[in-house]
Amino acid sequence: MRLVFGCRIVKLRPVSNGLRYLATGMVAAFMALPCFGQPNLDETASKEFPKAPPNGVLDVTRFLSRDSKALHEISDSIQKLAQDHDFHIYLVIEPVLIATTPQELAADYRQAWLPGGNGLVIVFEADSRRMGIGQDITGDVTDPGNPARVPAFETAAILQKVYAAVNPTEAPEAYLKAFVGNLTGEFGTYFVHRNTPPPSARSVKTVLVIVGTISLLGLGAIGVGSMLRHSGMHGPRSFRFPKVDRPERLAAPCGAAVTSRRFALKPRA
């Protein structure tokens, strides 16, 4: 192949088949990259989830059937929290997850069952004992239409306390019972404290603390002003000889005499 540039003829070598195949493969890879890097929103929106379990536990494989007492205690604590504070916790038990993770599945269940954010979903994978928590992290907690919504930082603090209080090496049934029991108890305590107004004695104490703080600040300002004033009075002073006419003595250019007049202070700038 030849190309003509002005008066010069440039001869190009033919491209080998290997380089041509390599370039074609790279173009195909770049074209397919967005398909793998971005989630399919239509597929996510079209997912179908079962209805939220009335007792708070979705255990299709009957994993907790070996310990019916643990199942009843978990269900009772979940339902009590929902009745008292309208905050819903759901426990989903899966034998094994292949195409997703417990965290991703918990987030999907939370979006499907609790779009208002007043609750969370726990997904427990029995095979690996992995656990995922689906919680609301974007909602407005100041919305008066949903008083059961909990701030994300409060939920994180509660989960940290619960994880520290349970023993992950226990049997799965005992571990789930302890985890859910501690979780519902912590959320119940949180709602009680949040909904209880402060006692009158506490309000009076707060007012006294504020008044005392303001008084201390006033006294401190007075003290600083007094120190500045005294430091100015004790600063360096200068004196001047009074202007007095005296006759010359012994033909000297200047004369001196004794007087009872006081020296005048130098006026301040």
Both tokens of residue 46? 């079209």
Residues 6+ apart with CB under 8 A from 240: 263, 264, 266
132: β partners? 123
- Quick: pLDDT tens for 90-105: 999 999 999 999 999 9
* pLDDT under 70: residue ranges of the chain: 1-46, 139-146, 198-204, 230-269
Q: For the chain, how far is it from start to end, CA to CA, in angstroms?
A: 94
DSSP state of 239: B
- Going from the C-alpha of 235 to that of each of 224, 229, 240, 260, 265, the distances in angstroms are 17, 10, 17, 26, 13
Phi, psi (5° rounding) for residue 239? -125, 155
The predicted pLDDT at position 16 comes to 54
Beta strands, E only, the chain: 2-5, 8-11, 57-58, 88-94, 119-125, 130-135
* Residue 198: per-residue pLDDT: 67
Residue 98: count of CB within 10 angstroms of its CB? 4
Distance of CA 28 to the CA centre of its chain: 42
The arrangement of secondary structure in 57-195, i.e. its CATH architecture, is Roll (3.10)
How far CA 194 is from CA of 42, 148, 150, in Å, comes to 40, 11, 10
Give the per-residue pLDDT at 12: 45
Beta bridge partners of 89: 120
Encode pLDDT of 183-207 as tens digits.
999 999 999 998 887 666 566 677 7
Where do the domains of the chain lie?
A: 57-195
Integer Cα distance of 58 and 41 in angstroms: 26
Q: What is the pLDDT of residue 14?
A: 52
